[in-house]
């Protein structure tokens, strides 16, 4: 059960990181587009980390069977 939570966290985190263009558009629409200049420095490593977490869970799950 605990491993399923890690997988869910990895998938949700990767999906949130993929939805950042919507956030960039929203910030630009309300006049805060300057905040998006360095967003990729934070979000790309987060996306990579969440994808690695999901792949790790998937491999450990397959190995256990």
* pLDDT per residue as tens digits for the range 25-64: 888 888 887 877 777 777 778 778 888 888 887 887 777 6
**According to the model, what pLDDT value does residue 65 have?**
66
**According to the model, what pLDDT value does residue 3 have?**
62
pLDDT band at 11 (very low <50, low <70, confident <90, very high): confident
| CA–CA distances in Å: residue 19 to residues 12, 14, 46, 59, 64 | 11, 9, 13, 26, 32
Report phi then psi at 54, rounded to 5: -65, -40
**According to the model, what pLDDT value does residue 2 have?**
60
**According to the model, what pLDDT value does residue 12 have?**
79
Contacts of 6 (CB under 8 A, 6+ apart): 53, 57
């Amino acid at each position: 059960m605990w491993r399923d939570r890690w997988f869910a966290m990895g998938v949700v985190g990767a999906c949130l990181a993929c939805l950042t263009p919507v956030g960039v558009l929203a910030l630009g629409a309300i006049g805060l587009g300057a905040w998006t200049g360095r967003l990729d420095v934070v979000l790309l490593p987060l996306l990579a980390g969440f994808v690695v977490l999901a792949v790790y869970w998937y491999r450990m799950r397959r190995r256990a069977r």
